[in-house]
Structure 1
Amino acid sequence: MTITAAADGSALGNPGPAGWAWYVNDDCWRAGGWPHGTNNMGELMAVLDLFRATAHLPGEDLHILCDSQYVINSVTKWMPGWKRKGWRKSDGKPVMNVELLKEIDQALAGRKYKFEWVRGHAGHDLNEAADDRARAAATAYQQGVAVRQGPGFGAAPGEAAASAAQAASQAAPQAAPSGRQEPFGEPTLFDEPDLFSELDEDPTPAPGTDASPEAIVEALERELLRPETRSDIGRTGVLLHPDFTEIGSSGRIWTRDAVMMSLEENPDGPAEVEILGADRLGDQIVLLTYRTTARSGTALRSSLWVHDGAQWRLRFHQGTPEA
């Protein structure tokens, strides 16, 4: 049998009063939080507490519904490499939220589980229920009132826990190897940026006080293509517009959050850049087109930069392999 539960986090201000929750049904859920935390911390804590709450049912498969690509990738893809490097990323910087990740790593040992990405705020019943409870916990910390913690899953095996497990169960798919993630297929889209809390939103410096918008945008694009910039999640967060999207050369649609995490893990940029054009489409919009040359071949690229009133930010990018 399989226990299916949604796990979610919330932070008011991000960082700010934060909450987390997992939800199976109205009789089986739990929530908590902190006076100050981030959305990512809440997402991770919800998953950790779910593993802990079901530790007395090691024979049950755990099916975790999660709207955070950051959490899914951290637990199922990146954590083994981080552990080998002493919990450091490919650029040598410490992994964020490392203590929570270490505890999750211990909690999932010997467990059979898999993650499924679900779109947040899209009417998914379990996800909405977990989100409501996580946000309520964050609000309680903001207002200084008691948090509704929920009934939980039962501290030890017994009739209550067995009843909750039965209510949560469904026909089990083929089990994953013990302690390993069973792949669902990589999602290509997800809703909410998870990493805003990690960013330093400093104004973008212009190449010169009298530089034209076209020159500023070209300089920023070249900066974004440098490996040292791509591996710096704080800087990429400044350069990418909150609503940034990209259509990659494979046809995949990338969100801002997915691009930032991908660049941080794989920061290598193109070897050569040839600017083809820089066209001002309005007072606050510049379209930049260029060709990149790398070992994998050449690609034609277009970037749409917009000025948000304080700085230039990349709003859209598309790359197409050159024939």
Structure 2
Amino acid sequence: MTITAAADGSALGNPGPAGWAWYVNDDCWRAGGWPHGTNNQGELMAVLDLFRSTAHRPGEELHILCDSQYVINSVTKWMPGWKRKGWRKADGKPVLNVELLKEIDQALAGRKYTFEWVRGHAGHDLNEAADDRARAAATAYQQGVAVRQGPGFGPTPAGTAPEGAAPAVPAVPAVPTAAPAAPPLGQPDLFGEPDLFSELAEDTTPAPGTDASPEAIVESLERELLRPETRADMGRTGVLLHPDFTEIGSSGRIWTRDALMMALQDDPDGPTEFELLGAERLGESTVLLTYRSYARAGTALRSSLWVRDGTQWRLRFHQGTPEV
């Protein structure tokens, strides 16, 4: 079976509030964005998320409709040479958007895929649908409102997994919240408050080969996620954060996965103490972690919901509440 999807990006001001989206049909699409980015970053992120969202169906070919010749040439022509040159162009200058390109390079390993260039804004149904959703995401960041992220691709239905593929992981219900609407966007406020991603002095990651419990694994991953070197590494945070990750910060702002990854890469922030309050297994593939964070701005009570995605534990939801 071939999965045909359009991928597109949008930036209001370029750079400015940016969005991305991929679209298969009205029941199968995803969108996201950042407070500040470029059109090319949106185009690349749409392709990257499409590969990630279909990773549970590795035996099926992806046919990607794209109106960006930059993206198509980057992935299909230029990337092998850039890699050989240490991710530098022929003139020796660094490749732009290198972190996103490295992530795409990893995501397409072992996958079957083809790109087809389509003219943008020319009435192509799938391209227009992706463009509408990417622009809506960029507009949402511009206006400081929540982004419609879409239903995503979803796990492979039981009994239909391609030969050799791992069984699909059941979808985890979204955590119900009564979050206030996101405030108007300016500079990210995540770093002016006690936040989830903070440095710890102690490394308690279980040694390779140890038979650690899910609770211990999740705690170690949370601690890893608090280190500045991890927060600054978009490749690693992309692994640790679930594709549908959401955070409600101490300020009440709602953070999507992509917005947080970009903000953390730009400003990894400084050290914060960590006091574990509890690690509770809610199911075979779900662990709730609660702890208290100590930072220069004060203390906060925090909860993190981790879910097992195949063999990888990933952070699905986080919320912080300042202590008075």
Q: Report the TM-score, using the length of structure 1 for normalisation.
A: 0.49
Structure label with greater radius of gyration:
1
Q: Report the TM-score, using the length of structure 2 for normalisation.
A: 0.49
